Structure 1
Amino acid sequence: MTGHLMITDSETLAAFCADICAAPFICVDTEFMRESTYYPELCLVQVATPERAAAIDPLADGIDLQPLLDLLVNNEDILKVFHAGGQDVEIIHNLTGKTPHPIFDTQVGAMALAQAEQLGYSNLVESWLGISLDKGARFTDWSRRPLDKRQIDYAIADVTHLAKIFPMMLDKLRATGRGHWLDEEMEKLADPANYALDPNDAWSRVKVQSRKPEVLGRLRAVAAWREREARSKNLPRGRIAKDETLAELAAHPPRTQDDLGKIRGLSSSWRNNDIGARLMQSLASAEPMDRHDLPSTSPRAPGLGKEGALVADLLKLLLKIRAREMNVAARLMARSDELELLAAGVRDGLAILTGWRFDIFGHDALELVEGRLGFTVKNGKLQMTRTAVAEDA
């Protein structure tokens, strides 16, 4: 690697992007602040190939990020490599309406190699390169300028190390024959639908005790109102209204706008201002939630029951056994909610019943649920065994 750049002008950025556009892959990371805004404030972008590395300053006066954004979302010939890149991809989607593609996430890749379910970057570097990272700059306020050399070196290291690790990881995945497992996972990460929250779906992230259709209908309305207000003002959702305040508004809606001043967590000025009027309008227009859209009564799965819960526990045991045998992180093969749905009798739309997951786990999971597979202990080790039902079939 020939050296690091700190890019603060459009001409240098355009030249750098032109220089790396033919690379087989680029490693990407971002530094951002989001404590006081709805949208994360992009403060730094780090990019590296095996030969070049740079930190791009999006806060530099007059800089045009378009060459970089084009490289990330419009160049299909170059693979974009991230580590735990969900928030990085979200930022790029906010700026462009698109997501980087094709994409590879080394945290997911590590799961296929049984390193950990959510391996942090410092542990990744330690395990692959034997390097202990300096964590002293991790609490930097990345929006403040100027950044000193230590901060810039810390930020760029996030991609220069990744540029060394990724080819090593790829070779190991190819050797194990598991590289194709990750294609579906990477397509999910790159799906723009993951980063475009519909305000009408915001209610599902708010905890509320009631399952009454009229209460949940009001919750959906006020959560959508909060989402729109937060976006328009670029403020965190909680600065508009806390979750518990939304739950209170849904359960005990005020009769008049003047009553908003009596609700804990709301400003008294909302009695007669525009934001209070918009809140009241959202409540007035709320309709009871359709019963088909009501959340499940059980946190496990619809209709699971006590017997189903026991079956789900057996499936989780099977998952642990199979993950140990395959030397794969269990979470990559199946999620707990999928196992609970399978135990409850659901068969459609489950990832574990399709593709490679079905081949290495889902088939046996189905056999267990349907009584054709059981557990046995041999030489002190728990193993799977075909049942008499399966043998007679």
Structure 2
Amino acid sequence: MKIHDLITTTAALEDLCGRLATSDFVTVDTEFMRENTYWPELCLVQIANTEEAAAIDPLADGIDLTALWDLLCDNEDVLKVFHAGGQDVEIVYNFTGKTPHPIFDTQIAMMAVSQSEQIGYANLVESWLGFTVDKGARFTDWSRRPLTDRQIEYAIGDVTHLSAIFPKLLKKLFKTGRGVWLDAEMEKLADPANYANNADEAWQRIRAPSRNATVLGRLKALAAWREGEAQHKNIPRGRIMRDETLADLASHPPKAQGDLVKVRGLSAAWKDNDIGKRLMKVLEKAEPLPTDEMPDKPKRGAPLGKEGALVADLLKLLLKIRAREIDVAARLLTRSDEMEALAAGARDLPVLQGWRYEVFGKDALELVEGRLGFGVEKGRLKMTRIEEEPAASSTEAVSAE
């Protein structure tokens, strides 16, 4: 495989992307810094196919990344392969408002061919290629220039190894017939809605202090305001205010700006500075949360009752058995809340549809409806069908009397 020098010019990038545009797939990875900023700072992009690999320097003076974004987001003929690519996709979205498509994530794919739910990149390489990745450069400062040869070699290794693994993984998916299982998961990863930063929804990431509409209205207003402040200053939202402090202000709003000095987690300077003034205006204008935005009531205790909770536990046991039998990650089949809903009588569930029904949902439904049980054979749990005894004939009934 040809390894290029660090790409630092628009012309070199356009040439590279022109060649890669004829590939069946490219593997992609990024290096970024986000510890001290609101927006992740893209420091390096690595890309490869089976013939060549390169690292692209997005911080190089005058470089235009348009050719790269066109390849990743607009070329539907080239499959873009990532490993645990959520943050990489987020970065592309932040630059372009679009996501790479079509897309394939090897971490997600591994759930269909093994019981690994979040296999790390180093373990993936060791499993498929048989050697250990040197992760020594992982936590270096990727924003500092010039980059060292060791940093570039480490970064490009991520995509060259992935370009060797992907065809092997794809072959196994075809052999097992499980590729179709992943279609919806990959489309979900590529859905731009997952990466849109809607400030009005930021409050939903914070543990709600209560279900009082007035309190939640203040929480929503404060969370949206904090997003705006953090974006404007390009600093992490926690540097403006921690979640706990924000929730406390929503529950116990100060009557005057001077009272901010009493709020745990805020600097005493807030009692008379500009940011404190802006905060007080937000609290004054906050309105109760509309009824249609109120969160669902939290579950308390055992919502299924004792018997229903036991059925849910049996379903979870069945899930473990089935996942082990077919060597698949349990999380790809279903989730705990879905099994609880099934135990409670719900039937309009993803686990009872499509391939999930054939692989697991059919057995889960039979367990709930009493047609499936558990047995032990040679010290191992297994599923057993429960045959209904035929009803006694009328002749036998008379004889019994």
Which residue of structure 2 lines up, in the alignment, with residue 157 of structure 1? 157
**What is the CA–CA distance in structure 1 between the aligned matches of 2:370 and 2:339, rounded to whole Å?**
16
TM-score by length of 1: 0.93
Which residue of structure 2 lines up, in the alignment, with residue 51 of structure 1? 51
**What is the CA–CA distance in structure 2 between the aligned matches of 1:243 and 1:267, rounded to whole Å?**
15
The letter for the 1-side match of 2:194 is N
Judged with a 3 Å threshold, the aligned counterparts in structure 2 of structure 1 residues 341 and 224 are, in CA distance, closer, same or farther, namely farther
User: Helix, strand or coil for the counterpart of 1:5?
Assistant: coil
Deviations 1:182-237 (A, max 9, x none): 11110010000111132222222222443333222222221122122212221111
Q: Which moved more, 1:316-325 or 1:259-268?
A: 259-268
Judged with a 3 Å threshold, the aligned counterparts in structure 2 of structure 1 residues 131 and 181 are, in CA distance, closer, same or farther, namely same
Which residue of structure 1 lines up, in the alignment, with residue 280 of structure 2? 280
8 Å CA contact retained: 1:377, 1:383: yes
Per-residue deviation, 1:391: 8.5
Deviations 1:42-99 (A, max 9, x none): 0000000000100000011111111001111111110000000000000001110000
Which residue of structure 1 lines up, in the alignment, with residue 375 of structure 2? 376
Residue correspondences, number: 390
| CA radius of gyration, larger in | 2
**What is the CA–CA distance in structure 2 between the aligned matches of 1:225 and 1:30, rounded to whole Å?**
30
Q: Does 1:242 pair with 2:242?
A: yes
Judged with a 3 Å threshold, the aligned counterparts in structure 2 of structure 1 residues 305 and 258 are, in CA distance, closer, same or farther, namely farther
Alignment of 1:225-374 (within 5 A): 225-290=225-290, 293-298=294-299, 303-348=303-348, 350-374=349-373
The letter for the 2-side match of 1:95 is F
Which residue of structure 2 lines up, in the alignment, with residue 105 of structure 1? 105
Query: RMSD over aligned Cα, in angstroms?
Result: 2.1
Task: Report the identity percentage.
Answer: 66
The letter for the 2-side match of 1:37 is T
**Structure 1 unaligned regions, length at least 5:** none
8 Å CA contact retained: 2:115, 2:330: no
The letter for the 1-side match of 2:364 is A
8 Å CA contact retained: 2:80, 2:100: yes
Deviations 1:316-337 (A, max 9, x none): 1111011011111111111223
User: Helix, strand or coil for the counterpart of 1:298?
Assistant: coil
**What is the CA–CA distance in structure 1 between the aligned matches of 2:22 and 2:355, rounded to whole Å?**
32
Per-residue deviation, 1:382: 1.7
Deviations 1:6-27 (A, max 9, x none): 1011111111111111100000
The letter for the 1-side match of 2:170 is L
**What is the CA–CA distance in structure 1 between the aligned matches of 2:371 and 2:115, rounded to whole Å?**
32
**What is the CA–CA distance in structure 1 between the aligned matches of 2:298 and 2:154, rounded to whole Å?**
48
The letter for the 2-side match of 1:354 is Q
**What is the CA–CA distance in structure 1 between the aligned matches of 2:102 and 2:353, rounded to whole Å?**
22
Which residue of structure 2 lines up, in the alignment, with residue 141 of structure 1? 141
**What is the CA–CA distance in structure 2 between the aligned matches of 1:37 and 1:170, rounded to whole Å?**
37
**What is the CA–CA distance in structure 1 between the aligned matches of 2:389 and 2:185, rounded to whole Å?**
33
**What is the CA–CA distance in structure 2 between the aligned matches of 1:98 and 1:300, rounded to whole Å?**
43
Per-residue deviation, 1:291: 5.4
8 Å CA contact retained: 2:84, 2:106: yes
Per-residue deviation, 1:299: 7.2
Which residue of structure 2 lines up, in the alignment, with residue 200 of structure 1? 200
**Structure 2 unaligned regions, length at least 5:** 392-401
Deviations 1:369-391 (A, max 9, x none): 33333222234322223345699
**What is the CA–CA distance in structure 1 between the aligned matches of 2:350 and 2:207, rounded to whole Å?**
27
